[in-house]
Amino acid sequence: MAGAAAKTTLVHRPAWRVTGRWVGITGLLAFLIAPIVPLFIWSISFRWFYPAILPTEYSARAWTEVINPNNDVVGVAWNTALIALVVTAFSILLGVPAGRALGLYEFRGKRLVEWLILAPIIVPGLAVVLGIHVLFIRAGLSNSLPGVILVHLVPTLPYMTLVMSGVFANYDTDFELQARSLGAGRLATQWYVTLPAIFPGVVVGAMFAFIISWSQYVLTLLIGGGQVQTLPLLLFSFVRSDPAIAGALSVVFILPAVLVLLLSSRYLSGDSAAVGGIGNI
Amino acid sequence: MNEKAPANPSRLPSLPRMRLSEKGARRMTIGVLLAPVIVVILLLFMGGLITGFLRSLGYFPLIGLNDFNFDAYLSIFTDNGFIRSFVLTFHIAFTSTVIASILAIASAMLLRPAFRGKRFVQFIFSLNLTIPHLVGAVGVLYLFSGSGLVSRLATGAGLIDAPAEFPALVFDPWAIGIIIQYVWKEIPFIGVIVLAILLSVGEDYESVARSLGANRWQAFRHVTLPLVMPGVVSASVIVFAFTFGAFEIPWLLGATFPKALPVLAFESYTDVDLAARPQAMAMAMVIAFMSSLMILAYMKLSRRYIRS
C-alpha cells in the first residue's frame, strides 16, 4: 500500500490540480466534522438564542449535571457499558468457534449456514424485533436486562462470526499440528498457538461488537420496555428538551467509538472483514 | 464481505487418532463449532421473523384468532398512508445510497495520492465509521433546524431574517435531513472500501490508458471505475438495506406525514389498539422482504462480477 502511494508522488501534477485537491479534501472534512461541532458547543453553552452564531454565555452546567452522581447519568453509562461487555463476551465465546468452522472447513450446507449468518446483518433489526418482542413476552424476557442482552446478540454475533471467519481463512493449522506432535495437549495448543495467532482479529472484532451493542436504540427501547435505560435512550429523551445536556451526552456517547477507532485504525483497511459490518452501527 | 479467501481443506488436522473415522470426526468438529451460533440465530432471528410472519397473517391464538388470512396485507396495501410511507422510505434509501456512493468514490480518489498530512486526513475521514448514527442525527438536527447553526450563519450573512425563512431541511416531507445524515455516515463506510481497492490496484492501469491516449475522464470511466465497482456495489447493498430499515434517524428527523416505514411499523405495534398489531407485523415483513431482495441482488451481482 505504501509503495503504491509513494509511486504517485513521482507523477507531475499541475498547481491548480493540487489546489483543487486541497479544496476538495477541506470541503470533505468540513462536511464530515460539521454535525459534531454543534454538539460540543451546546454542551458548554448557557445562553444560545437565535440568531447568535456562538453562545452569548458559557457554563459548565451540562457537564456538572452529567457527571453528578445524583443524576444517574454515570449509572446509565455504566449500565450501557455492562450490557455491551456481556454481549461482547458472548459474541466472542460463540463467534470464534463458528468463525473457525467457516474459515477452515468446506462442508455440505456451508452456503446455507453463511446465508443464515449473513441474514441478521442485512435484515434490519426493526423487522425482527417486533416478533422477538412477542416471543420474549411469552418467555418472560421482555422488560428485563437478560432480554436486552439476548436481543443485542442478533446484530453482534453474526458480525463477530464473519470477522473471525475472515481471520481463520488466512490462518494456518499446521502450527497447531506441530505443537501437538511435539507433545502439547489440546488446551495448551489452543492457548499458546491458536490464541496468539488470532488475537488481533478477536480484539478488533470484539471492539466493534462492543460499539454495535453500545449504539443500539430500537432493540433496547422495545425489549427493555423502559425498564432498561441505556445512554442512547437517555440522549434521545433530552434532544428536544435540553440541547446542552444532549450535547454533553452525545460527547460521552462518542468517546468509546473514537477510542476504538484510535486503537484499531491500522486494521481498518477496507479489505478487512471488520469494515463489512459497521455500516450497521 | 465476499472477498474471504476460500477455505483450504488440505490444511485440516489429520492426527493419527482421527484417521479411524476422519470424516465423521470432522463433521462432529464442524457441528460442535457451529451449533451455538446457529441455535442462537434460529431461536432469536428466525424465531422473531417467523413469529412476526404468523402474526401478520392474523394468527394470534391468545385472543382466539386461529385462522390465517391476508387482511393485514390487504389493508396496508390499500392504505394511502402506507403507500406514501413506502415510497418515501424507498426514496430515502435509494437517494442516500446513490449520493453516498458517488461522493465516496470522489473522496477515495481525492485521498488516493500521497500528500502531507494524509494520515491525519484519513483518520478524520474514518472517524464517523464508529460514531453512532444517533449522534449524527442529533448533530444534523442542531445544524439544519430552523434555529440551527446553519440558519444562524445564514442570518448573520444577511440571507434570511427569521428562522421561518430557513428552508425546511429537517421534519420535511422530502426527508432531506435524513438523507444528509445517511450520506454523512455512509461516505466513509463506502469510501474506505473504495480506497483500499484503489491502493491495492495502484495507478499502473490508469497510466497505461493515459499513455495510450485516454484523457483523465476516460481513464477514470473505463479503467478505474470498473475496478472499484464490485466493492461499491457490495457496500451500497448493505447501505440500502440498512437505510431502508433504520428506525432512529427518521424517528428523530422525519416529518409527521408521511412517516418512514420503520417508524410507521413501530408506532402501529406500540399502538394501544391491538387490532393494528397484524398490520405492524405486515409492515415489518415488507421491510424484511425488501432487504432480502437486496441480499439476492447482492449475491447475483457479486457472482456476475467475479465471473467477468
**pLDDT bucket at A15, cuts 50 / 70 / 90:** confident
By DSSP bridging, strand A45-47 and strand A57-58 are antiparallel
Q: Residue A19 corresponds to which cell in the numbers above?
A: 489546489
* Chain A interface includes B177 (CB < 8 A): no
Whether the predicted pLDDT of B19 surpasses 70? no
Query: Residue B275 has what pLDDT?
Result: 80
Query: Residue B119 has what pLDDT?
Result: 86
> Do the Cβ atoms of B36 and A94 come closer than 8 Å?
yes
Average pLDDT over residues B211-216: 91
CB < 8 Å to B163, chain A: 50
CB < 8 Å to A130, chain B: 48, 52, 55, 265-266, 269, 280-281, 284
- Give, in order, the Cα–Cα distances in Å from B63 to each of A129, A152, B60: 21, 30, 6
Query: Residue A275 has what pLDDT?
Result: 55
pLDDT, chain A, mean:
88
Name all domains of chain B by residue range, CATH numbers in brackets.
1-56 (no CATH), 72-307 (1.10.3720.10)
Whether the predicted pLDDT of B242 surpasses 80? yes
Q: How far apart are CA A126 and CA A85, in angstroms?
A: 23
CB < 8 Å to B239, chain A: 279
CB < 8 Å to A279, chain B: 186, 189, 235, 238-239, 242
* Chain A interface includes B116 (CB < 8 A): no
Q: How far apart are CA A247 and CA A41, in angstroms?
A: 8
Q: How far apart are CA B276 and CA A132, in angstroms?
A: 17
pLDDT in tens, A199-227: 988 998 999 899 999 999 999 999 999 89
* Chain A interface includes B296 (CB < 8 A): no
* Chain B interface includes A172 (CB < 8 A): yes
Whether the predicted pLDDT of B48 surpasses 80? yes
Q: How far apart are CA B132 and CA A253, in angstroms?
A: 8
A180 sits in which H/E element: helix A174-181
Contacts of A57 (CB under 8 A, 6+ apart): A45, A46, A47
**pLDDT bucket at A7, cuts 50 / 70 / 90:** very low
> Do the Cβ atoms of A244 and A62 come closer than 8 Å?
yes
According to DSSP, residue B43 is labeled I
* Chain A interface includes B282 (CB < 8 A): no
What is the value of ipTM here, to two decimals? 0.88
Q: Which of B14, B45, B102 to mutate to test the interface with A (most CBs of A within 10 A)?
A: B45
Q: Output the CATH code of domain A72-280.
A: 1.10.3720.10
Whether the predicted pLDDT of B15 surpasses 70? no
Q: Report the percent of chain B where pLDDT is more than 70.
A: 91
Q: Residue A96 corresponds to which cell in the numbers above?
A: 470464534
Q: Which one is predicted more confidently, A172 or B184?
A: B184
Query: Residue B194 has what pLDDT?
Result: 93
Candidates B4, B90, B55; CA nearest to B293 is: B90
Query: Residue A272 has what pLDDT?
Result: 52
* Chain B interface includes A126 (CB < 8 A): yes
Average pLDDT over residues B116-124: 88
Query: Residue A228 has what pLDDT?
Result: 95
Whether the predicted pLDDT of B103 surpasses 70? yes
Is the Cβ pair B111, A128 closer than 8 Å? Answer: no
Backbone torsions φ then ψ of B15, nearest 5 degrees? -70, 150
Query: Residue B17 has what pLDDT?
Result: 52
**pLDDT bucket at A257, cuts 50 / 70 / 90:** confident
Whether the predicted pLDDT of B299 surpasses 50? yes
Average pLDDT over residues B4-31: 64
Q: Residue A17 corresponds to which cell in the numbers above?
A: 490540480
Whether the predicted pLDDT of B266 surpasses 50? yes
* Chain A interface includes B33 (CB < 8 A): yes
Please report the DSSP string for A112-133 in residue order: HHHHHHHHHHHS-HHHHHHHHH
Average pLDDT over residues A150-166: 94
Q: Residue B240 corresponds to which cell in the numbers above?
A: 440500502
Predicted TM-score (pTM) of the model is 0.89
Whether the predicted pLDDT of B253 surpasses 60? yes
Q: Residue B226 corresponds to which cell in the numbers above?
A: 470498473
Query: Residue B217 has what pLDDT?
Result: 92
CB atoms within 10 A of CB A173: 18
The overall longest dimension of chain B from CA atoms, in Å, is 85
Cis amide leading into A97 (omega within 30): no
